[in-house]
Amino acid sequence: MNDTILSESVSKFNTHIARICDLNHSAALLEWDQETYMPSGAAASRASQISTLRQMSHELLTSDTTASLVEKLESDGLKPGSIEADHVLIVRKDFERATKIPGNLVAQLAETAALSRGAWMKARTQNEFELFAPHLEKIIDLCRQKAEALTYKTEIYDPLLDEFEPGTSTAKVRLIFEELREKLVPIVQQIATEPAPEDDFLHTFFPRDAQWKFGLDVAKDFGYDMNTGRQDYSAHPFSTTFSISDVRITTRIDEHFFNPGFFGTLHESGHGMYEQGVSHELERTLLADGTSLGMHESQSRMWENLIGRSREFWSHYYPRAQAAFPGALSGVSEQDFYRAVNKVAPSLIRVEADELTYNLHIMVRFELEIELLEDRIKVAELPSAWNDRMESYLGVRPKSDSDGVLQDIHWSLGAFGYFPTYALGNLISSQLYDQVSVAIPDLPDQIAEGSFSELLAWLRKHIHVFGRRKSAAQILRETTNSELSIESWIHYIEKKYETLYGH
Amino acid sequence: MNDTILSESVSKFNTHIARICDLNHSAALLEWDQETYMPSGAAASRASQISTLRQMSHELLTSDTTASLVEKLESDGLKPGSIEADHVLIVRKDFERATKIPGNLVAQLAETAALSRGAWMKARTQNEFELFAPHLEKIIDLCRQKAEALTYKTEIYDPLLDEFEPGTSTAKVRLIFEELREKLVPIVQQIATEPAPEDDFLHTFFPRDAQWKFGLDVAKDFGYDMNTGRQDYSAHPFSTTFSISDVRITTRIDEHFFNPGFFGTLHESGHGMYEQGVSHELERTLLADGTSLGMHESQSRMWENLIGRSREFWSHYYPRAQAAFPGALSGVSEQDFYRAVNKVAPSLIRVEADELTYNLHIMVRFELEIELLEDRIKVAELPSAWNDRMESYLGVRPKSDSDGVLQDIHWSLGAFGYFPTYALGNLISSQLYDQVSVAIPDLPDQIAEGSFSELLAWLRKHIHVFGRRKSAAQILRETTNSELSIESWIHYIEKKYETLYGH
């Protein structure tokens, strides 16, 4: 085919998709503003605006224009493996997925989610599951319809999971989680018999501004670029992307607890660095995104836990922490601090859980989601099913639904299939880290010197730069020569917590 | 016509226009973020996003869908004077205007403005007019093309002026400005012979946080609603609207000069209260906006000058100012402070000009804009023409183009026709204020008590609530029973400055 005509087709295609990207990123900015600076009175008008932008993006993506541009380029012989060819593949994939879901189902889901979110907030505040229950029933019904529309071979959960973790399957995740639980529960139980580290000093007083500065300074040391990023406050920390040159994070700070603000900033900066590291050649294409939520979470968890909760890290940063928080830490030894930020204790709230028990929280949700979708349990039975499962996996039983089944926003938004990616991220982070440790033999020394540039460069080169051009499985294969598995992570926690709890 | 079918047509029309509003407001949020929080690296991607949203809004407005919906409702006999009928009128007007300008001219203007803005910033920083000159030539040429496309009867400036001040004409403005100059220049000259009030204390130290709080507290007392508004920092203060329930202002603070931050906040809060006061029935219609820039400026100037620089105002707020800024004001009397914030002195920079000489700055720009468009002066002659006119009207001559012809951003953006609205706003503010003073006889006492609710209620009822449903001229006629004129404002300044300068 004539190169000029081909490049004209590519250019038309790029211009068309760039509009979709601009609409999506604009909607993301409206959402970011909603959580950070928007005056409270603007809630209703903002909801309409976000809905308009999302709808227009969806209309463009599912339009005949997209179909014909994609078909043209598919038949035009783009060079396989080129950015253009990869872009067409991803647009085809997103197009297929988006066109399978009928427009009125999209609208119903959006509307139900908006109402449901409000009902969930009220239900959680008032600890009344009944306020949320009818909304959750509708959400589950709509998610079932969505799964049917998307079609599946074996399990109804598959197409929902695929939205967040493309390329995996419910069966695979179930198997991984079963293996993981078998190994993890005895470890957690063993730790429960050991004396818990003293961590009262983490709950004294850590001034807001000092926390803000200390956390952000570390994120900058990691390599989170403030020229293309920034941090703001929000009720629930998140990271969000408006372009490869504008990737923001948020944090919340509790002046009476060191962990949420500090480790939250590290976590979000990990997400942020992933998106900042995508190749600028992919700007305004649908390739410019993390390849899966599991891969995304592997990055946030690596910086938060594998680095940020490591002994080497604190050997460098603990003197700084003491200088930043003299009131709270002046009499605390580095070793005691290190033990405290790694304290393991089964608890009720996922977002406050330690590195070990966190995965058990995820399993509870994964299993219940499937049972709800398959109608094996009813919404009315959900609170007690939740509590039973928490007791069985973690040995703790919520006293209220607010601390139990009502704690997370995800279901109210219809995000069934999302939770497992958190646990997959933990596993992937460790598999990748093993590989980095081979590639950079003196990495522990570098961390102990507060130097992270080689590590970040490795992650950039092997993961970030590709955006969605490589799948999570492909990245794992190419970097670690293996599939997703639990061994690396189990090895990591066994080694770490054996030393920590010194038995 | 059947009511159900009519209401279906209205509903289709409203849904269509609501999308345009949502796109415009989303673009405004992207622009606000650009000036407040956006990381510097994001400039290029943000420009693309704003351009996409503006283009899509323009495409929707000029689409066949708009044409057919408007035609249908025009022939359907909507009740004259109803919101629906008024909305159709305004959409017809915006549609006609937007369709007259060819798409490629819109694109050329946007592209040239983007490049030109950058060149202007560089030229101003380096004080090199030549860097900006070729861009300005292109801008002027494109503005001429725009005016020709829009068509006009007598003067090429008319259709450009009409964009910002619908319903007026170049001839009218010229006449008003001539009258104004004739009266104003002698007053300014007279004042120049009087001893200037001492105002060194305004240039001492006013801590940032105290300024922020003091200014915003007054804006809240005025009635600027923080539940549907907020204030942020930006390099150049502005107000902006994302919905009737989300109207924001920005400020900049100079710790060594009291005026810019404080009077800036009052000024922007005046703009903000106008937009917050639009009837909520007009949400997501093209009626939800100020009716003209002159009317808008009348609101900002009223709160900034007629209220905020009045004796009554400071009789209430001066003790608070002293408490807020003890270091700067403890030894300064209320009378000295009042005189200082009303100091008149011809100066070079428009945005720093006093209430009196401000209008002369506008006249310089108005005349030069017309001469440039009519090719009576060349761009190369502009700097000296500027300096000559400044000397003739204000008695001061810029020593550099940065302090002269390069000081304002407007021309770089192609906003020819914008400047006169600032001066018209001053005149309108005074005409309206005379009327309010009749309607609320004890208004001075209320101001002296820090009570502004009756004043704001009057402005809401007679101006704000209508949005674009009434023209500026109509509002003036209905409230003051007169046309735009200079008498009221001249009377106001004569009275005020006679007392102030005590001759």
Angle value at C-alpha A149, between A143 and A155, nearest 5 degrees: 70
Question: Which chain A residues are closer than 8 Å to B284 by Cβ?
Answer: 45, 48
Contact (CB<8Å) A246/B38: yes
Closest CA to B440 of B469, B470, B426, B461: B461
- Spell out which residues of chain B touch residue A30, defining contact as CB-CB under 8 Å: 26, 29
Residue type, A10: V
Please give the C-alpha separations between residue A329 and each of A118, A197, A323, in angstroms, as whole numbers: 41, 15, 8
Which one is predicted more confidently, B206 or A110?
A: B206
Size of interface A-B (CB pairs under 8 A): 117
Residue A425: name the closest of A247, A243, A290 by CA. A290
Rounded to an integer, what distance in angstroms lies between the CA atom of residue B25 and that of residue B289? 11
Q: How far apart are CA A276 and CA B158, in angstroms?
A: 48
Which position among B111, B194, B198, B268 bears the catalytic label? B268
Question: What's the pLDDT tens digit per position in A308-346?
Answer: 999 999 999 999 999 999 999 999 999 999 999 999 999
- Token digits of residue A373: 């979708």
Contacts of A19 in chain B (CB under 8 A): 52, 56
Which residues from A are below 8 Å from B26, CB to CB?
Answer: 26-27, 30, 49, 52-53
Whole-angstrom distance, CA of residue B211 vs CA of residue A32: 28
Q: How many residues does chain B have?
A: 503
Mean pLDDT of B36-40: 95
Which member of A25, A27, A39 has the closest CB to residue B227?
A39
Instruction: Check residue A261 and give its pLDDT.
Output: 96
Could you give the residue ranges of the DSSP H alpha helices within B101-128?
Answer: 103-126
Looking at residue A503, its pLDDT comes to 47
pLDDT in tens, A432-480: 999 999 999 999 999 999 999 999 999 999 999 999 999 999 999 999 9
- Taking any CB pair shorter than 8 Å as contact, residues of chain A touching chain B are 18-19, 22-23, 25-27, 29-30, 33, 37-42, 44-46, 48-49, 52-53, 56, 225-230, 232, 242-246, 248, 283-284
pLDDT band per the 50, 70, 90 thresholds, residue A103: confident
Q: Quick one: average pLDDT of B396-405? A: 96
**d(Cα B411, Cα B184) in Å, to the nearest integer?**
26
* CB-based contact A342:A354 (threshold 8 Å): yes
Spatial contact of B110 and B50, defined as CB atoms under 8 Å apart: no
Q: Which residue of B has its CA nearest to A243?
A: B45
| Residue of B15, B19, B22, B241 to mutate for A, most A C-beta atoms under 10 A | B22
Kindly list the residues from chain A whose CB atom is less than 8 angstroms away from the CB atom of residue B52: 18-19, 22-23, 26
**Structure-block tokens of residue A207:** 């001034």
Q: Which of B15, B65, B242 should one mutate to test binding to chain A, selecting the residue with the greatest count of A CBs within 10 A?
A: B242
Separation of alpha carbons B452 and B446, rounded Å: 7
CA dihedral B330→B333→B339→B341, nearest 10 degrees, is: 20
Arithmetic mean of pLDDT over chain B: 95
Q: Which amino acid is at B377?
A: I
Per-residue burial over B95-104, b if 16 or more Cβ lie within 10 Å, else e, is: bebbbebeee
Kindly provide the b/e burial profile for residues B68-92, where b requires at least 16 CB atoms within 10 angstroms of the residue's own CB: ebbebbeebebeeeebbbbbbbbbb
Interchain proximity A52–B230, CB inside 8 Å: no
Domains of chain A: 170-500 (1.10.1370.30)
Provide the ipTM: 0.94
In the prediction, which pLDDT does B503 show? 47
B454: annotated active-site residue? no
Q: Would you call A48 and B18 a contact, using CB atoms and an 8 Å cutoff?
A: yes
Q: Which residue of A has its CA nearest to B47?
A: A22
Picking from A30, A40, A242, the nearest residue to B26 by CB comes out as A30
Residues of B in contact with A38 (CB under 8 A): 246
Residue with tokens 């899966």: A292
User: Nearest by CB to B39, which of A38, A56, A246?
Assistant: A246
Tokens 């790029």 found at: A14
Asked if B228 lies within 8 A of A42 by C-beta distance, the reply is yes
Q: Residue A229: its chain B contacts at CB < 8 A?
A: 39
Query: pLDDT tens-digit profile of A61-73?
Result: 999 999 999 999 9
The H or E element that residue B361 is part of is: helix B358-373
Give the closest of B18, B37, B243 to A230, CB-based.
B37
Phi and psi angles of residue A207, each rounded to the nearest 5 degrees, phi first = -55, 140
- Which tokens sit at B444? 């001075």
- pLDDT at position B192 is 87
**Rounded CA separation B131/B120 (Å):** 7
Q: What is the mean pLDDT of residues B103-114?
A: 87
Contact B370, B157 (CB under 8 A): yes
